[in-house]
């Protein structure tokens, strides 16, 4: 991952500063309460997808994981690298398919293959879509050094993925 | 302000004039007809300092291709599903002709349908591994199979031919690499009864292997993981087995100095009991007469009595053997 090498000196600097100041993390545990949850609006017009409508503690009950790999199992290899790569894939795809991605990016890894699934809005012509698929697959497979497959589903409108309004 | 007022007045006058002229149209149309329209066009042009929205309302209609209907509508009922879904793939609603639904809804509402349903795309599916697909693949690879070798039909048969059991683990993982350091571990096990020993070698072998030998199951197990590769570990395990086996047959000079206190079991052959019994049996015997020695069953009963401890059976056995040896008639 070449783009990580650029970050390395900055991260080392940040780490040294962190060690100088304090080694203990003392902020309040708000993130556990607030992350992945959405506030109800007064007009009740905030659209939520099924994924957003279910808070994180329903993962494994009402909704499923967005990353499927073996790195998070006990004693398996490269858990951190896999997480960073997944983050990078998500950022790259939401940026490349700008304002077209209607759902979460689902990343499934099988052996050395990465399969990326997502729901895309039919905002651009099929020709451009085919180009973007090839472009994304080519660049990602070059960076990840393994075959990447895009498995997209398209919807006509953004409202098709809305599960409810709060 | 003044200018706009005058313009307003002028315009209202003109409109009234136009109305009047239009009324007159019917009476004398020849002269008056083109007149009012020209006047209408000759309005002061308004200087648009601020662009009004109206100017940008001309929009090009984007020509869009029609979205094709889902493939499921054109699928035949008896189609070859293995051709429609040949390999592992995320769920796609337009390709799967099943009325699937997934998702949790409250108050008894219907679950979200298969279209635009990310949950169905997340879960691993086995649509490429339907029974016909598996049958097809098995048929395809059948030509690479060889018949099961003759003479190895039962477990007991192949166990006697292949006493050594080697256990290794392969790891399937979702990583760009196929290497896993855990895969280097090799477990080699065999039954000790498959090896041939004499008493000394067996004793020495068991001392060498230590706790790798399970007394209850009579299984010897070598686990090697000190080398980085599986092949090296397998070779090392076999080397350990071979070295221990051959080492156990070597008698070192210092092994002869093993005294009675070093013995872990009682042996009749090298104890006072044997000498005493021989003395009793050879009592008053002639000088050149053949020496009598105690019977093997007597020796065994003495060893059993001392090694296993005194119990009713061992004592009765010992008594019987002593009486037999001394020719005492039993009542």
The answer to whether residue B178 neighbours chain A at the CB level (below 8 Å) is: yes
The answer to whether residue B68 neighbours chain A at the CB level (below 8 Å) is: no
Chain-chain contact of B90 with A108 (C-beta, under 8 angstroms):
yes
What pLDDT score does B19 carry?
44
What pLDDT score does B10 carry?
52
Chain-chain contact of A153 with B92 (C-beta, under 8 angstroms):
yes
Q: How many CB pairs under 8 A join A and B?
A: 97
Closest A-chain CA to B172? A111
Taking the CA of residue B262 and the nearest CA in chain A, the distance in Å comes to 47
The answer to whether residue B174 neighbours chain A at the CB level (below 8 Å) is: yes
B69, B88, B122: which to substitute to probe chain A, counting the most A Cβ within 10 Å?
B122
Neighbouring C-beta atoms of residue B302, cutoff 10 Å: 23
Q: How far apart are CA B116 and CA A102, in angstroms?
A: 9
CATH code for position A120: 3.30.300.20
- Give CA torsion, residues A116, A117, A121, A127, to 10 deg: 60
The answer to whether residue B87 neighbours chain A at the CB level (below 8 Å) is: no
Taking the CA of residue A117 and the nearest CA in chain B, the distance in Å comes to 7
Closest A-chain CA to B180? A77
In this prediction, residues A29-51 reach a mean pLDDT of 86
**Residue numbers in B near A104 (CB within 8 A):** 118
What pLDDT score does B278 carry?
86
Residue B224 is inside which H or E element, if any?
strand B219-224
The residue range of the domain holding A26 is 2-165
For the purposes of burial, counting CB atoms within 10 Å of the CB of B37, is it exposed (0-12), middle (13-18) or buried (19 or more)?
exposed
Taking the CA of residue A14 and the nearest CA in chain B, the distance in Å comes to 29
CB B221 within 8 A of CB B269: no
Chain-chain contact of B119 with A64 (C-beta, under 8 angstroms):
yes
Structural domains counted in chain A: 1
Closest B-chain CA to A61? B104
Q: How far apart are CA A163 and CA A152, in angstroms?
A: 19
Q: How far apart are CA A93 and CA A115, in angstroms?
A: 13
pLDDT at A131 over 90: yes
Closest B-chain CA to A149? B89
Taking the CA of residue B174 and the nearest CA in chain A, the distance in Å comes to 4
Closest A-chain CA to B123? A64
Chain-chain contact of B174 with A64 (C-beta, under 8 angstroms):
no
In this prediction, residues A114-120 reach a mean pLDDT of 95
What pLDDT score does A44 carry?
92
Residue A63's DSSP bridge partners are: A59
Write down all domains in chain B, each with its CATH number in brackets: 155-257 (3.30.160.20), 260-325 (no CATH)
pLDDT along chain B (331 residues), means of 10: 50 48 46 51 78 66 79 90 91 92 88 91 92 95 93 89 93 87 93 89 90 92 94 95 93 86 81 86 77 85 89 91 84 67
pLDDT digits (tens, 9 = 90+) for A69-78: 999 888 888 8
Please give the C-alpha separations between residue A166 and each of A44, A48, B319, in angstroms, as whole numbers.
4, 7, 96
Higher pLDDT, residue B60 or A124: A124
Lowest mean pLDDT among A38-47, A92-101, B285-294: B285-294
What pLDDT score does A76 carry?
86
pLDDT at A123 over 80: yes
Q: How far apart are CA A40 and CA A38, in angstroms?
A: 7
pLDDT at A6 over 90: no
């Amino acid at each position: 991952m070449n783009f990580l090498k650029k970050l390395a000196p900055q991260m080392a600097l940040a780490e040294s500063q962190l060690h100088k100041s304090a080694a203990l993390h003392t902020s309040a545990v708000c993130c556990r309460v607030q992350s992945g949850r959405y506030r109800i609006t007064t007009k009740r017009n905030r659209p939520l997808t099924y994924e957003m409508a279910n808070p994180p503690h329903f993962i494994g009950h009402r909704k499923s994981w967005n990353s499927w790999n073996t790195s998070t199992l006990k004693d398996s290899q490269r858990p951190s690298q896999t997480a960073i790569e997944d983050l990078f894939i998500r950022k790259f795809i939401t940026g490349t398919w700008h304002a077209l991605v209607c759902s979460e990016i689902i990343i499934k890894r099988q052996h050395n293959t990465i399969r990326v699934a997502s729901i895309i809005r039919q905002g651009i012509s099929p020709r451009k879509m085919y180009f973007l698929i090839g472009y994304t697959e080519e660049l990602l497979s070059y960076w990840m050094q393994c075959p990447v497959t895009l498995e997209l589903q398209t919807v006509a409108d953004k409202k098709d993925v809305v599960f409810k309004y709060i | 302000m003044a200018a706009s007022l005058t313009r307003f007045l002028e315009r209202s006058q003109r409109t009234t004039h136009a109305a009047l002229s239009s009324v007159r149209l019917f009476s004398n149309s020849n002269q008056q007809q083109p007149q009012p329209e020209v006047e209408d066009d000759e309005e002061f042009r308004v200087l648009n300092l601020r662009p009004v929205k109206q100017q940008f309302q001309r929009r090009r209609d984007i020509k869009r291709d029609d979205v094709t209907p889902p493939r499921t509508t054109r699928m035949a009922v008896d189609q070859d599903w293995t051709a429609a879904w040949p390999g592992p793939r995320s769920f796609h609603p337009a390709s799967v002709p099943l009325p699937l639904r997934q998702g949790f809804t409250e108050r008894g509402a219907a679950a979200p349908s298969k279209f635009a349903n990310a949950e169905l795309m997340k879960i691993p599916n086995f649509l490429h591994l339907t029974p016909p697909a598996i049958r097809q693949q098995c048929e395809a690879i059948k030509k690479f199979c060889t018949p099961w070798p003759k003479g190895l039909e039962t477990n007991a048969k192949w166990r006697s031919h292949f006493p050594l059991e080697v256990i290794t683990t392969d790891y399937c993982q979702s990583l760009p690499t196929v290497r896993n350091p855990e895969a280097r571990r090799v477990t080699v096990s065999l039954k000790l009864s498959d090896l041939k020993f004499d008493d000394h070698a067996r004793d020495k072998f068991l001392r060498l292997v230590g706790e790798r030998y399970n007394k209850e199951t009579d299984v010897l197990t070598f686990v090697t993981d000190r080398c980085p590769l599986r092949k090296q570990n397998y070779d090392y395990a076999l080397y350990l087995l071979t070295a221990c086996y051959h080492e156990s047959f070597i008698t070192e000079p210092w092994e002869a100095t093993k005294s009675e206190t070093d013995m872990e079991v009682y042996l009749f052959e090298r104890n006072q009991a044997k000498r005493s019994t021989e003395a009793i049996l050879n009592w008053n015997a002639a000088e050149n007469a053949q020496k009598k020695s105690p019977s093997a069953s007597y020796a065994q009963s003495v060893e059993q009595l001392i090694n296993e401890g005194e119990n009713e059976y061992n004592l009765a056995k010992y008594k019987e053997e002593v009486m037999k040896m001394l020719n005492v008639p039993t009542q």
